[in-house]
Each structure stands twice: as structure tokens, then as C-alpha cells.
């Protein structure tokens, strides 16, 4: 956070979230491809981090003391691009180049091309392991930055997530906070039907994590959860954020079709009207 964003009120955060949702719809609609559902569900989570919680400098993306954000569910790149543009990491006009040949804004994040991106994403399940490495590097270098990692609930079907969960607890990486965007849907349908992970919270507890459950669209709950995570010592924290896939656009909410399908021009117009 900068001095300009740290003092934002909940109302201002809500207004920021609405702008991010408009960016997401515009970007994916312009590209004609992308993943709107899981981008829209994560908006409040990422808004809270970038505009209230994290220490970062858009004018100095490689500032060594910055807090790190890792988007493990890399197909939700549009929500991160929208946030980085809104923060000032690159011009908002660049959002129109999503998924275009030669653009820095590809369908999955690329840390070599896009300012503010910490990890190149593609295959699911890798972000938590990557984040543990960043956290341990900070410990070795005696730096005080925090690391935040966003996972999808469908992504948690991946075995590597649970190997990483064991590792994080073993190494007591208490400056690491993971967040699960628990919207209940993945590409093939409801997560409970594809691979039922319940009791989900108890699983993380049994792996040695401090667990917090919140409404992932409630800024007050999110802020409190991130602040609580900063006080936990000797173990990592996971915030299980209950969200709605496609949140904010009536015809996308809880619709698996919009996991990875772009809205057509008529739908773009309707969505932008709803988000006005």
C-alpha cells in the first residue's frame, strides 16, 4: 500500500472493485477469450491486498522490501492486470491488448514481461511452492516482507498444493498468507462433484495452518483477516474466502460456462451497464 491507498475507506474500496470488474469485462470482451468467472470472484480479495494491506511501489516494481503477491490460479490474470493498471504499474490503455500477439498481458501471467507480476503461471498447483521459496529467501536475507498467494478451490485438487502445505508448516513460514478463492466451481462443474475436498478447513488445520474463514466479498472481513494473519507466529495462515463465481454480473454468477468463456458484444454491454 502507498500513503494514498492505505487510508481508503470501505466505500472507496467498493468503488475500486467496481472499476476492476469493468476492466475485466472490457479486457476479456475485447480479446474474445479469457476467464471472467474466477477473475470476478477474486476482485475484493485482490483489491484489499493492493489498496489496503500490501506494501508496494508501482513506480518501483522491484523494490526489495515490497510485499509479494503470487497469483497461483494464473488463468485469473485479468483481475491482476486490472489491479496493476489501476495502481499505476502500466497504462490502463494497455488492458485492451490482453492476449494479443506481442502484448505483455498474456492469458497467463509472465513475470518477464509485465511490471508487478511475481510469477509466470500456467500449470495449476505451483504457486504455493513458489511462494514458500520467496518467503524462505526473505528469511535468509533478513527481510521483513510478507508473501500472499491466491489459490483456486478447484486448484486445490492438485497434489503439489498439499505437499507445499506440509512444507510451509514444517518451515514455520509465518510471513506467508495463502488465500483460497472458494467459489465452488471449476472448469468441469461444481468442485463438490469433481473432487469433494470437504472438510476443507479441517484439512488445512490438520496440515498445521492457522485458518480463517470469511465472506470473500466483504471488505471488513477481509481486512480483519489479513491483519490477524500478521499477528500469527510460528505457522502460516490460510484465509478461506467464500466467493461467487462471476460476482457482479448477473448472467455470469454461479455459471460454469463463464469459467473460461468471453462475453459476446451484447453481453459486454449488459455487464458494463450492471457495473455502472
Question: pLDDT tens digits, residue range 22-68?
Answer: 999 999 999 999 999 999 999 999 999 999 999 999 999 999 999 99
Q: What's the pLDDT score for residue 225?
A: 98
Contacts of 13 (CB under 8 A, 6+ apart): 44, 47, 48, 51, 52, 219
Dihedral (Cα; 70, 253, 226, 178), 10-degree rounding: -40
Q: Are strands 185-186 and 189-190 parallel, antiparallel or unpaired?
A: antiparallel
Q: Quick one: 270 exposed, middle or buried, by C-beta within 10 A (0-12, 13-18, 19+)?
A: middle
Nearest-angstrom CA–CA distance, 17 and 40? 9
Q: What's the pLDDT score for residue 6?
A: 65
* pLDDT-above-70 percentage for the chain: 98
Q: What is the CATH number of the domain that holds 53?
A: 3.40.50.970
Give me the number of domains the chain comprises: 1
Q: Are strands 176-182 and 210-215 parallel, antiparallel or unpaired?
A: unpaired
| Nearest to 51, CA basis, from 60, 59, 43 | 43
What region does 180 belong to: left with phi over 0, alpha with psi -120 to 50, or beta? beta
Nearest-angstrom CA–CA distance, 94 and 84? 11
Q: What's the pLDDT score for residue 3?
A: 40
Q: Is 236 strand, coil or helix?
A: coil
Q: Are strands 147-152 and 68-71 parallel, antiparallel or unpaired?
A: parallel
pTM of full prediction above 0.85:
yes
Q: What's the pLDDT score for residue 129?
A: 98
Q: What's the pLDDT score for residue 5?
A: 55
Q: What's the pLDDT score for residue 122?
A: 86
The answer, yes or no, to whether the previous bond of 138 is cis (omega within 30 of 0) is no
What region does 8 belong to: left with phi over 0, alpha with psi -120 to 50, or beta? beta
Contacts of 126 (CB under 8 A, 6+ apart): 72, 119, 160
**For residue 200, what pLDDT band results from cuts at 50, 70 and 90?**
very high
Residue 211 is part of which domain span? 3-274
Amino acid at each position: 500500500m502507498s500513503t494514498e491507498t492505505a487510508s481508503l475507506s470501505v466505500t472507496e474500496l467498493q468503488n475500486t472493485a467496481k472499476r476492476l470488474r469493468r476492466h475485466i469485462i472490457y479486457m476479456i470482451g475485447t480479446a474474445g477469450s479469457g476467464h471472467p468467472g474466477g477473475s470476478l470472484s477474486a476482485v475484493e480479495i485482490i483489491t484489499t491486498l493492493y489498496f489496503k494491506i500490501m506494501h508496494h511501489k508501482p513506480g518501483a516494481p522491484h523494490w526489495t522490501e515490497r510485499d509479494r503477491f503470487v497469483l497461483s490460479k494464473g488463468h485469473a490474470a485479468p483481475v491482476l492486470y486490472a489491479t496493476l493498471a489501476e495502481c499505476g504499474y502500466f497504462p490502463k490503455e494497455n488492458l485492451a491488448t490482453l492476449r494479443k500477439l506481442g502484448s505483455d498481458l498474456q492469458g497467463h501471467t509472465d513475470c518477464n514481461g509485465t511490471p508487478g507480476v511475481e510469477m509466470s503461471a500456467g500449470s495449476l498447483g505451483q504457486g504455493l511452492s513458489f511462494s514458500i521459496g520467496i518467503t524462505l529467501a526473505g528469511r535468509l536475507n533478513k527481510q521483513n516482507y510478507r508473501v500472499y498467494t491466491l489459490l483456486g478451490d478447484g486448484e486445490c485438487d492438485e497434489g503439489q498444493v498439499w505437499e507445499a502445505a506440509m512444507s510451509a508448516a514444517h518451515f514455520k513460514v509465518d510471513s506467508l498468507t495463502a488465500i483460497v478463492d472458494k467459489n465452488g466451481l471449476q472448469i468441469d462443474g461444481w468442485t463438490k462433484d469433481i473432487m469433494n475436498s470437504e472438510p476443507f478447513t479441517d484439512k488445512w488445520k490438520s496440515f498445521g495452518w492457522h485458518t480463517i474463514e470469511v465472506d470473500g466479498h466483504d471488505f471488513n472481513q477481509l481486512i480483519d483477516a489479513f491483519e490477524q494473519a500478521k499477528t500469527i507466529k510460528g505457522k502460516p495462515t490460510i484465509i478461506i474466502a467464500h466467493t461467487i463465481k462471476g460476482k457482479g454480473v448477473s448472467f455470469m454468477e454461479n455459471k460454469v460456462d463463464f469459467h473460461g468463456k468471453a462475453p459476446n458484444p451484447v453481453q459486454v454491454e449488459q455487464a458494463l451497464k450492471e457495473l455502472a
